[in-house]
Amino acid sequence: MVTVLQIDKFTDLFLQCKVFAYILKKIRWFLVFLIFVLFASAHSLMVLLSDTLTDNGANTFTGFYQSLKNSWSMLLNNYSSLEPWTNNYLLDIFMIVFSLSTAIVLFNILIAIISDSYKITCKKAHTIWVMELVELMAEFELCDKIMPMFRMYVRMNALTYTLSI
């Protein structure tokens, strides 16, 4: 049987797992939308640039997979794959719209969702943890009649733990 002091060591781990699960649950639709934006930009760049001649002859937007990789690097603010097209004004407009929509707006929304979810989850996870602890203590109270020596051992350990703090 696990004692209260042993379970107390896992409080932070329990809270962090609950927070992480709740945050993933909250942002799953946002991540789907972000993937949609990534695929849409990869497809539009492939359609726009697959047949366009470059200044140096190296076109990295001929296939969808390579276009998706280039869009992912643009999401991480690396626009080096667009350097061969220096005089394409439509591409310049696309870069501005893409950087404003993803890097600034979407990631700020993601940060707001995560911070709000973290606050809510910490409150809920602590309540759930207290309920688990109450159920365990109720079980100890019921075991008091069966194992009085064990109960005394747990109380002595709790007292020692409390005095050492």
Digit-coded pLDDT (tens) for 133-164: 777 777 767 665 555 555 555 555 554 544 44
Long-range pairs, 66-69, Cβ under 8 A, ≥24: 67/42, 67/43, 68/38, 68/39, 68/42
Q: Is the pLDDT of residue 130 over 50?
A: yes
Going by pLDDT thresholds of 50, 70 and 90, the confidence category of residue 69 is very high
Write out the residue range of the structural domain in which residue 37 sits: 4-164
Q: How far apart, in whole angstroms, are the C-alpha atoms of residue 32 and residue 35? A: 5
Question: Quick one: pLDDT at residue 107?
Answer: 83
Picking from 67, 71, 64, the residue whose alpha carbon sits closest to that of residue 38 is 71
- Other CB atoms within a 10 A radius of the CB of residue 70 amount to 22
Residue 145 CA neighbour count, 13 Å, CB half? 3
Q: In sequence order, which residues have a C-beta less than 8 Å from that of residue 79 and are 6 or more positions away?
A: 73, 95
Going by pLDDT thresholds of 50, 70 and 90, the confidence category of residue 43 is very high
pLDDT in tens, 78-121: 888 888 887 788 888 888 888 888 878 888 888 888 888 778 87
Q: In sequence order, which residues have a C-beta less than 8 Å from that of residue 144 and are 6 or more positions away?
A: 151
Question: Quick one: pLDDT at residue 159?
Answer: 44
More confident residue, 152 or 56: 56
Q: What are the angstrom distances between the C-alpha of 40 and each of 109, 153, 156? A: 19, 64, 64
Question: Quick one: pLDDT at residue 68?
Answer: 92
Q: In sequence order, which residues have a C-beta less than 8 Å from that of residue 101 and are 6 or more positions away?
A: 37
Count of domains for the chain: 1
pLDDT in tens, 58-67: 788 888 999 9
Question: Quick one: pLDDT at residue 36?
Answer: 92
Q: How far apart, in whole angstroms, are the C-alpha atoms of residue 25 and residue 3? A: 32
Q: How far apart, in whole angstroms, are the C-alpha atoms of residue 104 and residue 27? A: 17
Q: Which two tokens stand for residue 76?
A: 């991480």
Q: Is the pLDDT of residue 71 over 80?
A: yes
